Chain A
Amino acid sequence: MSRYDAIVIGAGAGGGIVAYTLAEAGARVLLLERGRHQNFETTGRDHLRNHRLAQYGHNTGPDLVGNPRVFVGLDGIPEIVPPHHHAYSNNAMVEGGGTLVYGGQAWRFPPRDFKMASTYGVPEGSSLADWPISYEDLEPFYEWAEHAIGVSGSDPAPEMPDRSAYPMPALPQTPKGQILEEAAKRLGWGTQRVPLLINSVPRDDRAGCIHCQHCVGFACPVDAKNGTQNTVIPKAVATGRCEVTTEAMVLRVEHFRHRATGVVYSHGDEVHVADADKVYVCGGAVETARLLLNSGIGNGQVGRNLQAHYYSSTMAIMPEPVWNGVGPGASIATLKFTHGNEGLVGGGMLADDFIVLPIVFAKWHRPPDVPTWGIEHKNWMRYAYPRFVSVMGPIQDIPNAEARVTVDPYVKDHLGVPVARLSGTTHPETVRVTDFMNQKGREWLEAAGAERIWNSAPSLRLSSGQHQAGTCRMGDDPESSVVDATGKVHGFENIYVGDASVHVTNGCLNPVLTVMATARRMALLSLT
């Protein structure tokens, strides 16, 4: 048996930062990750098996066999789903987690995102609440993450608070981004460049972006994309105090009365026990909830308020080609509709999309009147692909307590551990706001001069997936939350949660920078 000052479970956006913060401060840390260590070569460029399009598999863990979840749909019928099924809501399980394969949009949540209930009231049937901390509390940690992980971008949009400049200038604006920026000006909408966790210039001994078209769903060929796997995790290891063990699946957190004593984990066909003074659970909103439930830790709130992001998405064809093949592609955003929309709770962001792969375009971006096959389809692909523009963005999810993670009473994984069971739906207000944002997307693309515009109507469903959050909600009252305002589990002296599970609400923007900032803050507070 080994003994550590701290065991961190999960080496994603949160866990990587927690491990680094603790090791930097002098703690002896064991960082356990159930996925593998991967690089560009081992992650590959398979357009049908990746985290953008997982048609036949994906390019990180978990393995497709032996790691199911159970999904309960609107019809109430439980279904066993494999990891690449959309209902599984997989987060990349790999060293670095989602940060290895993300697009890397680096947004701060604006101040009102932390005060949703007091800004809008609580819609009937929702569990909308304020965070117990404010934007100001998180601000220094946002700034830390922007520099420690590395963000490129421009000045903030008028709707966002002032902040210090990013460490790197913005990545190139695309022709479609320029067209959209001019259209926004005509509409009187403020914009800003999309901030990205990607080196626009060489930094931190790594290259600048080479503008390949494969940010989302893949690893970066020149390591210009900044995740925890190429920033804080190697720095944690370099302290000599952090041990990283990959392909290590934690089976349970051991505890006695109000204290965790360590963890039991499976690694290389053997079960290991490691003891620690403190345990940090950073497995992502689904797996963190699953582990706490399987360990008998936490109250009846664990797993509730599962949320992520609905997306508004509006597609258009421009009269002339706008494609120039320069990635990443996401280059201009408006935050005008993130808050204060008449008669609605919250709002969302709209931005041009990352480069769309041809097969993704064929599968997801065909208007309903275009045939699915034949010469007309081929002609459509040739005509439309270079003229395609879309604006899209996350919508602030309005949570409810019945959207949740539980552990399935029957189904176990290949290690014999009960699997996560996902059930419930988002609140209908999320659907209403998505409809509104689709309309704003249309207005933007009309102003841009598109020759045809289309989108599909959103419907009520469970909101989970890659932006999963909320299952170990932060709050002062143990009756309605799982962790306190520092990130420590209520009722336990030494168990912390360091991922998006603690998000009370998941913001009107991509959440990863908030995961990073919250994890940094929690780790520092846990040392005092």
Chain B
Amino acid sequence: MKQFWDPEDSRTLRAALDRIVPADDYPSASELGCDAFIQGLIEQDRELGLVYRTGLRLLRDRRFADLTVPERDEILLEMESHPFVQLLIRQTIEGYYSDPGNGGNRDGRSWEMVGFEVRG
């Protein structure tokens, strides 16, 4: 399936993901594939796609992806109780910390970060 959203949606999504889990010495959410994880969820659930398209519009209207990091954080903090932002936070965390097979935790890097090592 084609990308559900246009390139500007993708850029906005990645910008938001990377404030939810920013990079430090371990990768950010988009660097581990959380955007692909969310895309995968949307492919299984069309209604979720509509929620994302509408939600990302809210961020696009504020030119989220063009703002500085502190400005982006300020917007997310301000919108923290918005159902879309809550969903975005929840699903980013799900992608980042779940198994690599779900697509948002490439090479198990978040597991390496917290010390979760799979045996067997």
Instruction: Enumerate chain A interface residues (CB-CB to B < 8 A).
Output: 45-48, 55-56, 210-213, 221-222, 321, 323, 325-327, 357-359, 361-363, 372-375, 377-378, 381-382, 385-386
- Which of the 9-residue segments B2-10, B59-67, B96-104 touches chain A? B96-104
Task: Determine if A210 and B21 form an interchain contact, defined as CB atoms under 8 angstroms apart.
Answer: no
Task: Determine if A381 and B22 form an interchain contact, defined as CB atoms under 8 angstroms apart.
Answer: no
Contacts of B119 in A (CB 8 A): 210-213, 325-327
* B41-75 contact mask (Cβ, 8 Å, vs A): 1 or 0: 10010000000000000000000000000000100
Contacts of B113 in A (CB 8 A): 381-382
Quick check: is B111 within 8 A (CB to CB) of the other chain?
yes
Contacts of A47 in B (CB 8 A): 98-99, 102
Chain A residue nearest to B77 in the complex (CB)? A374
Instruction: Enumerate chain B interface residues (CB-CB to A < 8 A).
Output: 19-22, 24, 26, 41, 44, 73, 76, 80, 89, 92-94, 97-99, 101-102, 110-111, 113-120
B40 to chain A, nearest CB (A): 10
With A321-B115, A358-B110 as contacts: A378 and B120 at CB distance below 8 Å: no
Q: How far is the CA of A327 from the CA of B120 in the complex (A)?
A: 11
Contacts of B44 in A (CB 8 A): 56
- Among A213, A373, A377, A386, the most chain B Cβ lie within 10 Å of the Cβ of A373
With A56-B41, A373-B20, A373-B89 as contacts: A325 and B117 at CB distance below 8 Å: yes
Task: Determine if B22 and A385 form an interchain contact, defined as CB atoms under 8 angstroms apart.
Answer: no
Main secondary structure on chain B at its contact with chain A? Answer: helix
Contacts of A46 in B (CB 8 A): 98-99, 101-102
Task: Determine if B120 and A211 form an interchain contact, defined as CB atoms under 8 angstroms apart.
Answer: yes
- Among A46, A323, A359, the most chain B Cβ lie within 10 Å of the Cβ of A359
Q: How far is the CA of A321 from the CA of B99 in the complex (A)?
A: 23
A225 to chain B, nearest CB (A): 12
A selection of 12 A-B contacts at a CB cut-off of 8 Å is A47-B98, A47-B102, A212-B118, A213-B116, A221-B120, A325-B115, A361-B114, A362-B97, A374-B73, A375-B24, A378-B24, A382-B113
Task: Determine if A375 and B22 form an interchain contact, defined as CB atoms under 8 angstroms apart.
Answer: yes
Q: How far is the CA of A488 from the CA of B6 in the complex (A)?
A: 64
Contacts of A55 in B (CB 8 A): 94
Residue among A213, A323, A326, A373 making CB contact with B92, cutoff 8 Å: A373
Contacts of A222 in B (CB 8 A): 120
Task: Determine if B22 and A359 form an interchain contact, defined as CB atoms under 8 angstroms apart.
Answer: no
Task: Determine if A373 and B101 form an interchain contact, defined as CB atoms under 8 angstroms apart.
Answer: no
Contacts of B116 in A (CB 8 A): 213, 325, 357-358, 385
Task: Determine if A359 and B76 form an interchain contact, defined as CB atoms under 8 angstroms apart.
Answer: no
A272 to chain B, nearest CB (A): 34
Q: How far is the CA of A527 from the CA of B24 in the complex (A)?
A: 67
Chain A residue nearest to B45 in the complex (CB)? A56
Task: Determine if A386 and B118 form an interchain contact, defined as CB atoms under 8 angstroms apart.
Answer: no
Chain A residue nearest to B108 in the complex (CB)? A358
A46 to chain B, nearest CB (A): 6
Q: How far is the CA of A323 from the CA of B113 in the complex (A)?
A: 13
Contacts of A377 in B (CB 8 A): 20-21, 93
Task: Determine if B114 and A386 form an interchain contact, defined as CB atoms under 8 angstroms apart.
Answer: yes
Q: How far is the CA of A56 from the CA of B98 in the complex (A)?
A: 12
Q: How far is the CA of A212 from the CA of B97 in the complex (A)?
A: 18
Task: Determine if A362 and B93 form an interchain contact, defined as CB atoms under 8 angstroms apart.
Answer: yes
Contacts of A212 in B (CB 8 A): 118-120
Contacts of B111 in A (CB 8 A): 358
Task: Determine if A359 and B98 form an interchain contact, defined as CB atoms under 8 angstroms apart.
Answer: yes
Chain A residue nearest to B110 in the complex (CB)? A358
Chain B residue nearest to A325 in the complex (CB)? B117
Task: Determine if A374 and B20 form an interchain contact, defined as CB atoms under 8 angstroms apart.
Answer: yes
Task: Determine if A323 and B115 form an interchain contact, defined as CB atoms under 8 angstroms apart.
Answer: yes
Contacts of B97 in A (CB 8 A): 358-359, 361-362, 381
Task: Determine if B21 and A378 form an interchain contact, defined as CB atoms under 8 angstroms apart.
Answer: yes
| 6 cross-chain pairs, A with B, having the tightest CB-CB distances, nearest first | A212-B120, A385-B114, A47-B98, A210-B120, A373-B20, A359-B97
